[in-house]
Structure 1
Amino acid sequence: MAKAVKKKSNPGFSKYIKWFWILFVSGVSIVALIFLSASWGLFGELPPYEYLENPQTNLASQIISSDGDLLGKFYLDDNRTDVKYEDLPENLVNALVATEDARFQDHSGIDFRGTVRAFFFLGTRGGASTISQQLARQLFVGVRSRSKLDALKQKVKEWVLAIRLERSYTKEEIISMYFNIYDFGNNADGIRSAARIYFGKEPKDLKIEESAMLVGMFKNSSLFNPLRREEMVKTRRNVVLAQMAKYDYITEQEKDSLQALKMDINYNPENHREGLATYFRMYLQRFMKNWIDKNPKPALPGERDKWNIYLDGLKIYTTIDSKMQANAEEAVYEHMANLQAEFFNQNTPDKNPTTPFLDLTPEETDRIMERAMKNSDRWREMKAAGKSEEDIRNSFTKKTEMTVFDWKSDTREKDTIMTPLDSIRYYKTFLRAGMMSMEPQTGHVKAWVGGINYKHFQYDNVIQGTRQVGSTFKPFVYAAAIDQLRLSPCDKLPDTEYWIEAGKHGNMEAWGPRNSNYKFTGEEMTLKYALANSVNTITAQLIDKVGPKSVVTIAKNLGISGDIPEVPSIALGTLDANVYDMVGAYGAFANQGVYVKPVMVTRIEDKNGTVLYEYVPETKDVLGKDVSYAMIDLMKGVTQSGSGARLRHSGAKNNTVYKEIITGYPYEFTNPIAGKTGTTQNNSDGWFMGMVPNLVTGVWVGGEERSIHFDNVLYGQGASMALPIWGLYMKKNYANEDLGISKEDFEEPENMSIITDCAKFEEDKPQDTDIENDLDDLDF
């Protein structure tokens, strides 16, 4: 029997096996040691687990309209609003995964296959960073260092943090965090800002090609900027679409058709000086500062004990209706552009050497310019920098390049060269406007336009500016008379010269107003006719009968703030008030005598939805229902046969002057409207207060200085300067039936004790009654 041959071992092969395991175990040990070292903080401090579970990112506070639209945000550096995963469109998520991390669902933070590939091919066939790693870099690591050693340390930290993130969050949460954290440039922090700024829509509404463009920007948003490098961005977008086709998220046919599409950028910048409701947003900033001062933040040790509207992601729910706000802004811009063109035509240097000022001496003009120069930002900044007054003054006379406001430009701006002093005069040539619209039953402010352009004119003429109110104050006088004397709109007084003796009501001198046409008809006229036509002599008689103190009391109870002197001349509106107060006061007439303080903010929530503030209405019963309805009836006469009657017809076919101002404004309103125009001395201020049952709106127009005005009443009266804005605004509102603006008549209270039907009044009234004598017999 043959003996078995013993197979000899191969010592060389065994040696290879031995070294393979030594190298393998060593490699694994080194990798493990590297990870342990990174987790121990040897490569730099890592964030604690608590921070990983709740990473702190700065969130902009949102300003939300009553109809659910985003009006704007408060932010410093980060214009960021988080979006939940369920609000991201599927095509956006698919584009991200296909382009950045095809095996995202299969790994736990590190794609080892991609890492090995990147190592052997030195990154020429794609990188190895997963979405989780990129998120870790964005949240905790920062910009990649140029030092290779430091960059390697950062990479290891990203690996460790990516694994921790995968343990702390679901895949969906990581996707949403990634989209929310990224800076897309042009103040587009996070996907919601990016979708709104580049396409004017919410993320859920993004089309496939739009999603592909935004995902393409993850490569480098500064380089792939669609506003500066459109073709480069389009090429990058098409790469993303190709990746989506490669991984079967779209078909080849869809890819080809989408790649052929042009870029369709709809740029909507989001900043504090542009966009919708800019003046209101700046008012809201002051409101929030006041609220924060009174409401400390419940904070953990080491956290801020004050809310921060720029960082804490508050949600501020307002009463502003975004559609009505847009209508209001359009109405202001349309009319003011036309009115300004005529103002420029009448105030050229050839026609008026002191333009834009009228009726001033050169010395008075110099004083205005001196005051404006010292109140300017340039003066304050140079003075704070330690510059001498001589240097500061010299800087105002040196020509410099600047961008200024211009009605004629589509962008409302033009580049020019002028001295800072000339720019001050240039800006004073522009007429200003203020407008506020409110629901009288609730006090909810629906629209707020503080000027013609916030970027260039930051003074808010709704609440900051107070100007003479003119005849818009007369309804307060009539209300006092009807309330105390139980007069009717149908009662009559004579239009004759009327004087109130000195000292009777605290006035130092005898006072007797003239009518705007300098004439006295000598005829008796109803109170309704007198108010509709702003007959001053009738108003003087009424305030003489009730006394200025009674009128002031009613005005104060209706929310008119500031000093109101108790003298007869207030009857003609010599006091100053702002649009905000006037709208609130007129709201009581439409709300059956109940004053409701205007409200702009209904609720404030923190980023988690916890309610921090809810509005409680502030109301006051000021007038009886019958008195307030009588006042509404009086003011309906203004739009039926008085200074507001142009709201009823289609234009001024036979009035050249009127046509020049109101071209294209055929109102033709047929519904009941109550209102009052106001014009102050020298036509410096034009007012119109207009009411329908569920909306009260006030408009003021004038120059920055009272010496800036039209030189005739045809152009300078409230019916020409302010009323057209109201008309345009209401036409736009009525064109949108969803807004629900009333066309019905005002509700007449039951058991009405004051007669408003003047035909019936004449039938019932005793013929031997002498109204004037009855008034004189009353003891005040």
Structure 2
Amino acid sequence: MFKEIRNKYLRYTLIVGYAIVIFICAVEINFLWLFGYSPTSRDINMPAQHVASELYTADSVLIGRYFKEDRSPVPYDSISPNVTNALIATEDIRFFQHHGVDFRAVFSSLLSTAQGDRRGASTITQQLAKNLYRTRYDQAEGLLGRIPGIGLVINKFKEWVTAYKLESKYSKESIITMYLNTVSFSNNAYGIKTVAKRYFNKQPSDLTAAEAAVLIGMLKGTTLYNPVRNPDRSVERRNIVLSQMQKAGFLSAEAYQEARATPLRLSFGTEEEAAREDSYLRAAVEKWLEAWCAENGYDIYEDGLKIYTTIDSRMQRHAEETVAEQMKTLQRRLENAWQGEIPWRNSNGEVIDGFLENLASRTSYYRQLNERYKGNKDSIFHYLNQPKTMQVFTWDGPREVQYSSMDSLAHYAMMLNAGMMSMDPYNGEIKVWVGGINHQYYQYDHVFQAKRQAGSTFKPFAYLAALEAGMSPCDKYVDKAVRITYTEKGEEKVWEPKNADWVFSGRDMSLRWAMGKSVNSITAQITEEVGWDKVVDAAKRSGITSPLASVPSVSLGSNDVSVFEMVNAYATFMNKGRRVDPILVSRIVAMDGRTVATFKPRDTQVISEEVAWLMTYMLRGSMEEPEGTSQALWEWDLWKENNQIGGKTGTSSDYVDGWYMGVTKDLVTGVWVGCDERSIHFKNSQTGEGSRTALPIFGKYMEKLYHDNALGYTYGPFPEAGVPINRQYNCPSPRIIHRDSTQTDSISPLRLPDSPALEEPLDMEELKRQLDGSRQITSVDKTKGEATEWYRPARKG
């Protein structure tokens, strides 16, 4: 065909033209995989910017972000002209004249390079093409790209083609906006909004000429001209950018001199900390949305979602502050208890040999040493015992110490941890999630991941089974020794539970009194009577999802469960017997403002409304019954306006785990306290019971909520029963009369800390006056050792 064209110049021109067209087509279709990936029309129409997703509380407070590349896009009109002017003046002065490739700059660059002065000629559009589509990365290369020189030519050509595609699709303002939203400023900071917040604590629209010049100046060398690492070089580069802005007519001589004379004033924003510091809540939400993202094709690390949780930031702050205050005290108490002694012990109190060595063997450092020294333990532990300077977590702040790896393991194993969750029982919204004491040092979540023996907090499920079997809160059992024979896996076993104080009183006790006082012997009796399978079933229906061994001890909390499960199960009592699936995320909004998901709780009627109401009445017994285990709550300002609180303490064997489950008319809250290593724990009930570890966290937390008027949580009684209650429940419990060695009768145990012992003979009016707000006391029968009605003292002051 070309031979028929007699004019050789035209013939050669056509040949070259055809060759260029064929080459372009070959590059575009990646012919024989020679040229690698090129952006398609769809890629140009929908450029992927890998935008960080933002995590918000229910009251719209930003609490974290998810990102692979830390960026938050902003529109063109939210970027100061100082930024765009600085960029154009230094990177692409003919930006508004070319169509993606500035051939004048290309030829000038070639000429300068030939003279030994290498200059770049990439336009802003070409740089955008490189940022968006990674045209120079390995995954974009074909077979020819691996040949030195040829690969560079092909990549540059693809950049040119992509730049032309971008220019044909987008306006100049859109291109410069996309560039400023995608360009890297090092340290995983992408985009002008992120870097403006990081270094000047400003929005991009508020940047001055001097500040814009600092940031744009970084693009020539993000490390070399970093204003934190190299402030002098940063100022030098800033002034060059300002000079270019003046030459381009973007700054007057006066403005240039003023900006040049401005000191480098950095003001670090909080966005870097919020974006980079992980948290228990952030990790929990990521896990929560894992299935949703897989089903709906979203990536929270790239798709720029706004994720709104059900968490209330104010309640979360109160909870975190309370946990920190109490845990600091408890840590000191634990260390004092073991001062001068090795704390890791078995159930017989004997030191566990090889405890630290076993911990060390689980670490990645141990595995590295094991591989390097081929299992030679002498060499491995030689290095593990070498002291070095390190920083460790303490409640007085990070401390620099000279510790070996083994010392560090001992330090962290000795630290008490905590988990706390608070939830609205009616709509399932989780309001507070405290996964531990410090996520930087302890990333294991103690709300959802950790499962520990629940101790006596599990007893209500035994009483639930009893009520469902037809019993009433007033039914009585004798506090006596119990022996239960049962078969487990074909083996006959005997269980003889002891009470917490190792005493069987011989008293007749109502179910409500027994649960309120947490009497093991009576709980064991009703478990035997209704069947432990029924206790397991009651717990499962209420919301416990962990495997439960169906054995007699199940009702005393011998199984491992999570704080999350326990809060969910207790919420079923408050929600009229309807188990509601807790929700942590309420809605998700896409980058374009569309709400792409809303999450509503699902609830199921699992307990009759009558029995559920009776269970809330039973839970109040720990405050209202004699020697109820929640009565330490009188210490806090919780008892105004006839407020009612129900709850249950729990302590596992050897004081390893301390629990408190608290319910009010508005919230259900669960608290766990203990060491991650179960062989480290308190020594006795005076220091390690749930009433002394977990309960104070609940008390302080609720006091903070009631005192924070902005939250709207008010004092008040539990809801009245919404259905007829057809069994006896409002039964008087005996008033305990203790006789001391002088045979003087005295009333205890619910006197206030600042009150003297109250001795018989009693003046009823004087007693009521001292107890300030008690229920009616009609009489005390000294011969029977009981009162006709129990009283509830109110906190003085």
- Shared topology, TM-score over 0.5? yes
* Alpha-carbon contact 2:485-2:493 (below 8 Å) kept: yes
Q: Shift in Å at residue 499 of structure 1? A: 2.2
1:337 equivalent among 328, 336, 349:
328
2:635 equivalent among 646, 649, 652:
649
Please list the CA deviations of residues 590-626 of structure 1 after superposition, one character each: whole Å capped at 9, or x if unmatched: 2121111223345567766787766464422122233
**Structure 2 length normalisation: TM-score?**
0.73
Q: Shift in Å at residue 687 of structure 1? A: 0.6
Q: Shift in Å at residue 758 of structure 1? A: 5.3
1:550 equivalent among 534, 540, 544:
534
Please list the CA deviations of residues 293-322 of structure 1 after superposition, one character each: whole Å capped at 9, or x if unmatched: 6x385xxxxxxxxx6555565665544444
Query: How far apart in 2 are the matches of 1:149 and 1:509?
Result: 80
Structure 2 counterparts to residues 2-13 of structure 1, below 5 A? none
Structure 2 counterparts to residues 47-126 of structure 1, below 5 A? 47-48=38-39, 50=41, 51-60=43-52, 62-76=54-68, 78-85=69-76, 88=79, 93=84, 96=87, 104-105=95-96, 108-109=99-100
* Alpha-carbon contact 2:51-2:72 (below 8 Å) kept: yes
**Structure 1 length normalisation: TM-score?**
0.74
2:265 equivalent among 262, 265, 270:
262
Q: Supply the AA of the counterpart residue of 1:427.
A: Y
Query: How far apart in 2 are the matches of 1:271 and 1:392?
Result: 42
Going from structure 1 to structure 2, the CA distance change for 1:105 and 1:329 (only over 3 Å counts) comes to: farther
SS of structure 1 residue aligned to 2:415: coil
Q: 1:448 — aligned with what?
A: 433
Query: Is structure 2 residue 275 aligned with structure 1 residue 282?
Result: no
Q: 1:473 — aligned with what?
A: 458
Q: Which 10-residue stretch deviates more, 281-290 or 200-209? A: 200-209
* Alpha-carbon contact 2:421-2:430 (below 8 Å) kept: yes
Q: Shift in Å at residue 555 of structure 1? A: 0.5
Q: 1:436 — aligned with what?
A: 421
Q: Supply the AA of the counterpart residue of 2:629.
A: S
Please list the CA deviations of residues 498-523 of structure 1 after superposition, one character each: whole Å capped at 9, or x if unmatched: 42553599995665544323344454
* Alpha-carbon contact 2:423-2:430 (below 8 Å) kept: yes
Q: Which 10-residue stretch deviates more, 148-157 or 65-74? A: 148-157
Q: Shift in Å at residue 190 of structure 1? A: 2.8
Going from structure 1 to structure 2, the CA distance change for 1:69 and 1:231 (only over 3 Å counts) comes to: farther
Query: How far apart in 2 are the matches of 1:438 and 1:335?
Result: 21
SS of structure 2 residue aligned to 1:335: helix
SS of structure 2 residue aligned to 1:584: helix
Going from structure 1 to structure 2, the CA distance change for 1:359 and 1:515 (only over 3 Å counts) comes to: closer
Q: Supply the AA of the counterpart residue of 2:283.
A: M
Please list the CA deviations of residues 523-557 of structure 1 after superposition, one character each: whole Å capped at 9, or x if unmatched: 45554444333233443344344332322211010
Q: 2:750 — aligned with what?
A: none
Query: How far apart in 2 are the matches of 1:742 and 1:250?
Result: 64
SS of structure 1 residue aligned to 2:459: helix
Structure 2 counterparts to residues 528-543 of structure 1, below 5 A? 528-543=512-527
Going from structure 1 to structure 2, the CA distance change for 1:347 and 1:667 (only over 3 Å counts) comes to: farther
2:470 equivalent among 476, 482, 485:
485
* Alpha-carbon contact 1:564-1:575 (below 8 Å) kept: yes
Going from structure 1 to structure 2, the CA distance change for 1:236 and 1:731 (only over 3 Å counts) comes to: farther
Query: How far apart in 2 are the matches of 1:707 and 1:444?
Result: 35
SS of structure 1 residue aligned to 2:322: helix
Going from structure 1 to structure 2, the CA distance change for 1:70 and 1:428 (only over 3 Å counts) comes to: same
Q: 1:355 — aligned with what?
A: 343
Query: How far apart in 2 are the matches of 1:563 and 1:47?
Result: 53
Q: Shift in Å at residue 263 of structure 1? A: 1.6
Q: Shift in Å at residue 469 of structure 1? A: 0.7
Q: 1:168 — aligned with what?
A: 169
Q: Supply the AA of the counterpart residue of 1:620.
A: T
Going from structure 1 to structure 2, the CA distance change for 1:72 and 1:196 (only over 3 Å counts) comes to: farther
Q: Shift in Å at residue 701 of structure 1? A: 0.9
Query: Is structure 2 residue 688 aligned with structure 1 residue 716?
Result: yes
1:638 equivalent among 622, 628, 631:
622
Query: Is structure 2 residue 365 aligned with structure 1 residue 378?
Result: yes
SS of structure 1 residue aligned to 2:476: strand
Going from structure 1 to structure 2, the CA distance change for 1:760 and 1:388 (only over 3 Å counts) comes to: closer
Q: 1:747 — aligned with what?
A: 719
* Alpha-carbon contact 2:419-2:436 (below 8 Å) kept: yes
Q: Supply the AA of the counterpart residue of 2:334.
A: F
Q: 1:568 — aligned with what?
A: 552
Going from structure 1 to structure 2, the CA distance change for 1:510 and 1:409 (only over 3 Å counts) comes to: closer
Query: How far apart in 2 are the matches of 1:338 and 1:251?
Result: 61
2:676 equivalent among 673, 680, 704:
704
Q: Shift in Å at residue 708 of structure 1? A: 0.8
Query: How far apart in 1 are the matches of 2:44 and 2:679?
Result: 63
Query: Is structure 2 residue 250 aligned with structure 1 residue 247?
Result: yes
* Alpha-carbon contact 1:111-1:130 (below 8 Å) kept: yes
Please list the CA deviations of residues 185-219 of structure 1 after superposition, one character each: whole Å capped at 9, or x if unmatched: 22223344435555677767878876565444333
* Alpha-carbon contact 1:451-1:461 (below 8 Å) kept: yes
Q: 2:410 — aligned with what?
A: 425
Query: How far apart in 1 are the matches of 2:264 and 2:529?
Result: 76
Structure 2 residue ranges without an equivalent (≥5): 1-16, 28-33, 138-144, 735-774, 777-797
Q: 2:757 — aligned with what?
A: none
Please list the CA deviations of residues 234-279 of structure 1 after superposition, one character each: whole Å capped at 9, or x if unmatched: 665677678779636999499569935732113554699x635x23
* Alpha-carbon contact 1:60-1:79 (below 8 Å) kept: yes
Query: How far apart in 1 are the matches of 2:255 and 2:603?
Result: 65
Query: Is structure 2 residue 201 aligned with structure 1 residue 194?
Result: no
Query: How far apart in 1 are the matches of 2:425 and 2:208?
Result: 42
Q: Shift in Å at residue 181 of structure 1? A: 1.4
Query: How far apart in 2 are the matches of 1:437 and 1:201?
Result: 35
Query: How far apart in 2 are the matches of 1:325 and 1:385?
Result: 46
Q: Shift in Å at residue 102 of structure 1? A: 6.4
Query: Is structure 2 residue 226 aligned with structure 1 residue 225?
Result: yes
Going from structure 1 to structure 2, the CA distance change for 1:736 and 1:564 (only over 3 Å counts) comes to: same
Query: How far apart in 2 are the matches of 1:694 and 1:234?
Result: 57
Q: Supply the AA of the counterpart residue of 2:501.
A: N
Query: How far apart in 2 are the matches of 1:342 and 1:201?
Result: 45
* Alpha-carbon contact 1:734-1:741 (below 8 Å) kept: yes
Please list the CA deviations of residues 112-134 of structure 1 after superposition, one character each: whole Å capped at 9, or x if unmatched: 89889989999999987653343
SS of structure 2 residue aligned to 1:502: strand
Query: How far apart in 2 are the matches of 1:731 and 1:175?
Result: 53
Q: Shift in Å at residue 394 of structure 1? A: 4.1
Q: Percent identity?
A: 36
Query: How far apart in 2 are the matches of 1:394 and 1:570?
Result: 42
Query: Is structure 2 residue 386 aligned with structure 1 residue 399?
Result: yes
Query: How far apart in 2 are the matches of 1:756 and 1:575?
Result: 30
Q: Shift in Å at residue 586 of structure 1? A: 1.0
* Alpha-carbon contact 1:437-1:697 (below 8 Å) kept: yes
SS of structure 2 residue aligned to 1:461: coil
SS of structure 2 residue aligned to 1:365: coil
Q: Supply the AA of the counterpart residue of 1:621.
A: Q
Structure 2 counterparts to residues 144-159 of structure 1, below 5 A? none
2:485 equivalent among 495, 502, 506:
502
2:661 equivalent among 689, 696, 706:
689
Q: 1:388 — aligned with what?
A: 375
Q: How many aligned residue pairs are there? A: 697
Query: How far apart in 2 are the matches of 1:741 and 1:615?
Result: 24
Structure 2 counterparts to residues 294-333 of structure 1, below 5 A? 295=295, 310-311=301-302, 318-333=309-324
